[in-house]
Amino acid sequence: MPPFRSLRAGLRALFHKEAVSRELDDEIALFVDEATRANIRAGMPPADAARAARARVGSGTAVRERALSGGWETAIESLVQDVRFGVRGMRRNLALTTAAILTIALGVGANTAVFSVVDAVVLRPLPWRDADRLTLLQTDDVRRALHREPTAWRTIADWSNASRTVGSIAYFATQRVTILPTDPGGDRGRSRSALISANLFPLLGVAPLRGRVISAADESQRAAVAVISFGFWQRELHGTAAVLGRTITLDDAAKGGASALTIVGVMPEGFYFPDRLTEIWTPATTWWRFERESVERFPSWARRWTAVGRLADGTSVDDAHAEFTRIGERLAATYQSSVPDFPGFGVTLTPIRDVIVGQNVRATLWVLLGAVGVVLLIACANVANLLLARGSARQQELVLRRALGAARIRVARQLIVESLVLSLAGGALGALVAVWGSRLLGVSAAAYVPRIDEMAVDWRVLVFAAGTSVVAGIVFGIAPALRFSGVDARESLSGAARTVGPRGTRTHRDWLVGAECALALVLLTGAGLLVRSLVAVQNVNPGFDPDGVLTVRVEFPPESPPTAAERAEGSPVGQLRGRARLTLATAVGERVRAIPGVTDVGFVDDLYRIGAGNTAITIPGRIEETGAGELTDGTADAGFFSTLRVPVRAGRLLTTADAEQKLRALYTPVNTALSLAEKERQAVAEPVVVNAAFAKEFFSGQDPVGKRFCVEPTGKTYWYEIVGVIGDMHREGLEHRPIPEWYGPWIPSANGRVDLLVRAPGNPLALGPQVRDAVMRVLPGATVVSISTADAQLGDFSALRRLQTWLFTAFALLALVLAAIGIFGVVWFAVTERTREIGVRLALGASPAQVMVLILGQGLRTPALGIAFGVIGSLAFTRVLSSFLFGVTATDPATFVGVAALLAGIATAACWLAGRGALRVDPVTALRDG
Amino acid sequence: MPRSTDLVPGTLDLLILRSLALEPMHGFGVAQRIEQISRGVFRVNPGSLLLAFQRMERAGLIEPEWRTSESNRRAKYYSITRAGRKELKLETDDWMARAAAIARLLEA
């Protein structure tokens, strides 16, 4: 086995150098000996024979070195030599080494930190087998511009039978659940459960940690079993070993009491589906209305499920979409629907990766990685500059080596190795910077970057750091290597070295500084545009006053289901219960208002909204339903509007009497046989206020107050009457345009959630515990889900933007500082070389100002060129950013001019600082020493 | 007698193998043998020879062994291995073919 033999021999030569060379020496001595004897045999006198033999062999050392030079270990040895030499050089020049290592550490560290986030969020595989081919299949409601709607079980079954591009199709639906305490007096647990088809777990391809997953038998027998997540096991069951067979009880009061589930399996740590909040999986068939729903196809109440499937090998999402469009057309031809809100059989396919980590987050991260990569490039340019400067000082040494016969490639290798030693030292320090940086990023982005908690500085990240360091070392080592390995020995040794070298290095260095300026300008422009966008977002008037408002998310207590008698036609139980809850809510409001410091209290179903609207209305006299994706509704009490200081534009706000009117509207029997106009006239309408966008959209040029519209698409029996118009509120965050909305009176529902808003100028969060107390005292069965402030929640909508902007700006400023250092270095170096000339000029009567103008003129030539190229580069680059910009265009002239002026100013300052030193020189000294 | 004492490039390994195919030898033995058989046309540089030994030993073509020489000294003897013989055959055939071709070209 030659390779093995060679390896062994090489290792022996490396680590037992003494023994190996002794052996060789013996062999050479033997050679001389035998040659001598041969000469004697041939008749030479002994003394001549020995001399001739020695002459024939030559220098023993040379022979030995020659014989040893063939193995691979020699290359390593000379590499080790180069490294040793490099380290020695670094130690000799501590200031330069420190500067270079710190620069690289900063560059590599920042890159590695950002990479660790990209890796966790984008690159690492999702916790399912072949996750890139998993895709969600959802109903597409083109008419109302709603694209990710759930689907009826029967339609999913039809898809499953017909599709070839998507293999087995599973389905699921998630819901919030309350878990009853296992021991009396314990807290009620909260979680989410998913009703799933039996083929879901096989589709995801993840084996349980313990027990088994939901089986086909569970599905067909409607077995009350559950598979739980690792996290749930640890949290709710304290990781007990005897978990299989245990029972968890879900509070299902509204559907007839508690339901007990037997745990049959535990999933491994890190597994989740479809999101991290879902911790319990049960057979879909256990859903109490499953039988009733699974025969229906059209009504909205039967469209509950989200389908998920795996694209067959060799098919793309587009292929699958085309196939499902055809299937949909066939289904539409087969099944005619008279249900007015049935959206048809259109399908949206979304790769599950896009569901978990949105495009926006991914784009943000790639942009940041690009920006920090540019910073590293600038850092490399700076270090290359340092090395070029040092190289000039070392020129004599390098020339000597060349003159003594070192090949150009040998000198170049030496220089590159020295650079690599520097960069790897910087990279090692950079890894530490990265550990710290990624922790910082993880903490500051935890809430709004999905999967960032999966971040870890592990071998992948360290390999990235090492790779980046090596690339950086080669990048910044190339310029010096090219420059100095090519020095012509004769020319340099002949005494002209003092003036020859710098000219060459100066062009190299000018180049680098120009590039630095161009890159820095691109980053600064990007940062400028992002900052302007952030300012524009923060200057958006939310349409209400979120300052000093505490938001308390409350879940009302569940109630037992109505008895059969109570469910009978015309029973007043719904109305009575609603009124009772309303009274309780009023009591809560009064108690909270009594807390010192509280000025207003209000209730709203959801202060902030995520996602588009999803409702449609019918306005008499208009042909079609209107609204959907661009229309939404909400409920609020009378206190909501005053608490948030929402302006009234027309009519009046809701009052407590309106809630009573809504109860009447809800429970008044209706006659479905009338014409639409009759229905409108006779209806007991719910009073609502609409926002300005609603008024403009649907009643442009008219007074909307007093107008009626209805929502229920089938019977058109439930009517609203507009009593007032309020200003638009940015309930989807400041970056989204408010859409038309209407607000009806809020009536609490059992187990329903509501935002309790408490205005308390000063520090509203300090009142949190008192407010919680007040709520729990009036409503002992309620749950306070979370406490925050309206301001903080509004800010969360732009949190990712803020993070991106600040990081990008930090990188850009770092680039600016590095570029400034680069300019300073080059000018300082150039001026130092010209001390003598400057001395002459001063001695001949040039004023310092004149000399400074000269220095600035020459020093700023390349930065100016760099800025020009940077502007061109920015024009191309900012297009990448355009999806992140708000209220500013990608070619915003003010930003471009401002940033270029900033960089020009900094460049001038750096030049001036560098030149000032030279002007302090005494002309006489300069002439004598120069 | 030709003045040149340089080996034809690329033939050293072949000549070493050929020498060792007869019997195990030490370094000087190989050098002497090449010199004698070539009637002094080729002289082998000791540095090149030892370098070639190292290389061929690693390639598994020859095998070293310390034994006592005729002059009663400890000496490193090299012997040819099975792989070495195979290589020798290949190289010899190759060389013969080339030499014949060159001879034909020169005579043509």
**Arithmetic mean of pLDDT, A214-227:** 92
User: What pLDDT score does A371 carry?
Assistant: 92
**pLDDT per residue over A188-205, tens digit each?**
777 889 999 999 999 999
* Cis-peptide, bond into residue A557, ω within 30° of zero: no
At residue A626, does pLDDT exceed 70? no
What is the C-alpha separation between A854 and A754, in angstroms, rounded? 72
What whole-number distance in Å separates Cα of residue B23 and Cα of residue A545?
103
| Site from A8, A34, A61, A69 to mutate, B interface, most B CB atoms within 10 angstroms | A34
Report the percentage of chain A scoring pLDDT > 90: 35
* Chains A–B, number of C-beta pairs less than 8 Å apart: 75
Q: Looking at the complex, does the CB of residue B3 fall below 8 Å from at least one CB of chain A?
A: no
- ipTM here: 0.82
Q: Is B101 on the interface with A (CB under 8 A)?
A: no
Check if B50 contacts A (Cβ < 8 Å): yes
pLDDT band at A503 (very low <50, low <70, confident <90, very high): low
The pLDDT tens digits for A132-153 are 899 999 998 776 667 788 899 9
Residue A569's pLDDT is: 67
| Identity of the residue numbered A360 | N
- What radius of gyration, in Å, describes the C-alpha atoms of chain A? 39
A34 contacts B60? CB cut-off 8 A: no
Contacts of residue B73 in chain A, CB cutoff 8 Å?
Answer: 30, 33
Q: Which residues of A touch B81 (CB under 8 A)?
A: none
The per-residue pLDDT for A255 is 62
Range from A90-94, A612-616, A688-692, A758-762 carrying the lowest mean pLDDT? A612-616
Top-confidence range, A472-486, A568-582, A683-697: A683-697
Between A59-68, A281-290, A749-758, the lowest mean confidence (pLDDT) is in: A59-68
pLDDT at residue A494 tops 60: no
Backbone angles phi, psi at B66, to 5 degrees: -85, 120
Look at phi and psi of residue A571 and say left if phi exceeds 0, alpha if psi is from -120 to 50, else beta: beta
Hey, what amino acid is at A234? Q
When scoring A31, A40, A61, A72 by the number of chain B Cβ atoms within 10 A, the one with the most, hence best to mutate, is: A31
pLDDT tens-digit map of A72-104: 777 777 788 888 887 887 787 788 888 889 999
**Interchain CB distance below 8 Å, B28 and A34:** yes
Closest CA to A306 of A153, A201, A132, A134: A153
Kindly report which listed range (A682-686, A715-719, A893-897) carries the lowest average pLDDT score. A715-719
* Nearest-angstrom CA–CA distance, A101 and A687: 70
- In A6-35, the residues whose Cβ lies within 8 Å of chain B are 6, 9-10, 23-24, 26-28, 30-31, 33-35
CB spacing of A33 vs B32 below 8 angstroms = no
> For residue A765, what is the DSSP state?
G
Nearest-Cα distance to chain A for B93, in Å, is 23
Rounded mean pLDDT, A14-36:
79
Give the Å distances, CA to CA, from A812 to A378, A432, A520.
11, 22, 7
Given an 8 Å threshold on Cβ–Cβ distance, is A6 in contact with B58?
Answer: yes
Q: Which residue has the higher pLDDT, A867 or A10?
A: A867
The residue type found at A468 is T
The whole-angstrom distance between A2's CA and the closest CA on chain B is 5
- Residue A784's DSSP bridge partners are A554
Query: Cα distance from B44 to chain A (closest Cα, Å)?
Result: 10
Is A443 near chain B, with CB under 8 Å? no
Query: Which chain B residues have a beta carbon less than 8 Å from that of A31?
Result: 26-28, 31, 46
Residue A603 burial (CB count, 10 A): 23
Across chain A, mean pLDDT equals 85
Interface test with A, best of B12, B28, B76 (most A CBs within 10 A): B28
Residues of B in contact with A58 (CB under 8 A): 46-47
Q: What is the model's pLDDT at position A498?
A: 45
Residue A640 predicted with pLDDT over 90: yes
- pLDDT lower than 50: segments of chain B: 1-4
Q: Is the pLDDT of residue A553 over 70?
A: yes
In 3D, which of A362, A796, A369, A784 has the Cα closest to residue A546?
A796
pLDDT at A256 over 70: no
* Inter-chain CB proximity A28 and B50 less than 8 Å: yes
Structure tokens at A295: 């025969």
Sequential DSSP letters for A488-554: -HHHIIIIIHHHHHHHHHHHHHHHHHHHHHHHHHHHHHHHHHHHHHHHHHHTS--SS--TTEEEEEE
Nearest CA in chain B to A5: B58
Phi-psi region of A478 (alpha: psi -120 to 50; beta: other; left: phi over 0): alpha
Q: Are the C-beta atoms of A390 and A97 separated by less than 8 Å?
A: no
pLDDT at B2: 45
State residue A490's pLDDT score.
54
Give dist(CA A544, CA A208) in Å, integer. Answer: 49
Where residue A2 falls among pLDDT bands split at 50, 70, 90? low
CB contact under 8 A, B47 and A62: yes
Q: Is the pLDDT of residue A496 over 50?
A: no
- Among the partner residues B50, B55, B58, nearest to A27 by beta-carbon distance: B50
B28·A30 Cβ contact <8 A: yes
Judged by CB atoms within 8 Å, which residues 502-521 of A form the interface with B?
A: none
Contact B73 A30 (CB under 8 A): yes
Q: Decide which of A9 and A909 is more confident.
A: A909
Q: What is the pLDDT of residue B1?
A: 41
A3–B contact, CB cutoff 8 A: no
Say if residue A504's pLDDT is above 60. no
Rounded to a whole number of angstroms, the distance from the CA of A79 to the nearest CA of chain B is: 21
Q: Which residue has the tokens 């309780």?
A: A584
Taking an 8 Å cut-off on Cβ atoms, the answer to whether B73 and A2 are in contact is no
Closest Cα in chain B to A7? B58
Does residue A263 have a pLDDT over 60?
yes
Amino acid at A438: S
Please name the member of A9, A37, A58 whose beta carbon is closest to the beta carbon of B71. A37
For an interface test with B, give the residue of A14, A25, A27 to mutate (most B CBs within 10 A): A27
Report how far residue A471's alpha carbon sits from residue A490's, in angstroms, rounded to the nearest whole number. Answer: 34
Asked if A40 reaches chain B (Cβ–Cβ under 8 Å), the answer is: no
Averaged pLDDT for residues A474-496: 68
Of A913, A918, A910, A905, which is closest to residue A846 (Cα–Cα)?
Answer: A918
CB nearest to B76's CB, from A27, A35, A70? A27
Tell me the pLDDT band of A532, cut-offs 50, 70 and 90: very high
Does residue A31 carry a pLDDT above 90?
Answer: no
State the best of A8, A66, A69, A74 to mutate against chain B, taking most chain B CBs within 10 Å.
A66
- Tell me which residue of A631, A663, A622 sits closest to A749, measured CA to CA: A663
From B48, B50, B59, residue closest to A24, measured CB to CB: B50
Position A713, amino acid: P
Would you state the structure tokens that stand for residue A398, as one six-digit string?
């390098």
The A residues from 223 to 262 touching B (CB cutoff 8 Å) are none
Determine whether the interchain pair B28/A58 forms a contact, defined as Cβ–Cβ distance below 8 Å.
no
Q: Does B4 touch chain A (CB under 8 A)?
A: no
Q: Who wins on pLDDT, A263 or A796?
A: A263
Which contacts (CB < 8 Å, 24+ apart) does range A69-76 have?
A69/B51, A70/B51, A70/B54, A70/B55, A71/A6, A71/A9, A71/A10, A71/A13, A71/B54, A71/B55, A71/B58, A72/A6, A72/A10, A73/A10, A73/A11, A73/A13, A73/A14, A76/A14
pLDDT value, residue A929: 59
pLDDT exceeds cutoff 50 at A492: yes
Distance CA A613, CA A630 (A): 6
What is the reported pTM? 0.76
What is the biggest distance separating any 2 CA atoms in chain B, rounded to whole angstroms?
53
Tens-digit pLDDT profile for residues A341-366: 788 888 989 999 888 888 888 888 99
Instruction: Check CB contact under 8 Å for B71 and A70.
Output: no
Determine the pLDDT at residue A500. Answer: 40
Q: Cα separation of A363 and A894, whole Å?
A: 25
H-state helical runs in A70-204: 72-92, 94-118, 153-162, 200-204
- In whole angstroms, what is the distance from residue A335 CA to residue A295 CA? 13
Q: Is the pLDDT of residue A483 over 70?
A: yes
Smallest CA–CA distance, residue B64 to chain A, in Å, is 11
N-to-C CA span, chain A = 65
Contacts 24+ apart (CB under 8 A), A20-27: A20/A68, A21/A64, A21/A68, A23/B76, A24/A64, A24/A67, A24/A68, A24/B50, A25/A60, A25/A64, A26/B74, A26/B76, A27/B26, A27/B27, A27/B50, A27/B76
Strands A753-759 and A247-250: unpaired
Distance from the B42 Cα atom to the nearest Cα atom in chain A, whole angstroms: 14
Asked if B53's CB is within 8 angstroms of A28's CB, the reply is no
